[in-house]
Every structure is written in structure tokens, then in C-alpha cells.
């Protein structure tokens, strides 16, 4: 996540969507950690996986925004 944010700064990505995605990814990471610490049940694992999926989709979307910005420069 840190490398994606640094790349976004390097290419001066200022899209509001980029900022929202950053916030969503951090919130999903916190949710995944809380779900991990609270239980090891099957339902908790499913919740953790859901939070992980949100993070991965956010990463790909942020990278797409960076690539778009790099092409437009």
C-alpha cells in the first residue's frame, strides 16, 4: 500500500476517488485486523477474506488511476 501511495505522489495523482480509495483501504485493513483478533471461526475467516478482497480491489483501482495519470502526463 505504501508503494502505491508513493507512486501516486510521484505522478501527482489528485483525484478525489484516489483519496477515497486510500481511506477505504485503511478502514478495510483495520476491519481485517479486528476480525482476525476477535475470532478464528469460519464466519470470521469469511469476514477477513471480504476485507482482504476490498483491499485488493482498491489496490488495483488505485494503480489504474496512477497509470492513467502517468499516461496523461
Q: 17-60 pLDDT, tens per residue?
A: 999 999 999 999 999 999 999 988 999 999 999 999 999 999 99
Grid cell, residue 57, equals: 480491489
Kindly report the pTM of this predicted structure. 0.90
How far apart (Å, rounded) are the C-alpha atoms in residues 57 and 35?
19
pLDDT digit string (tens) for 2-27?
Answer: 999 999 999 999 999 999 999 999 99
The Cα–Cα gap between 25 and 6 comes to 15
Amino acid at each position: 500500500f505504501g508503494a502505491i501511495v508513493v507512486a501516486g505522489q510521484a505522478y501527482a495523482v489528485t483525484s478525489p476517488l484516489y483519496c477515497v480509495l486510500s481511506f477505504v483501504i485503511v478502514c478495510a485493513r483495520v476491519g481485517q485486523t479486528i476480525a482476525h483478533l476477535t475470532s478464528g471461526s469460519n464466519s470470521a475467516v469469511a469476514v477477513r477474506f471480504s476485507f482482504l478482497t476490498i483491499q485488493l480491489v482498491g489496490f488495483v483501482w488505485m494503480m489504474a488511476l496512477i497509470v492513467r495519470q502517468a499516461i496523461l502526463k
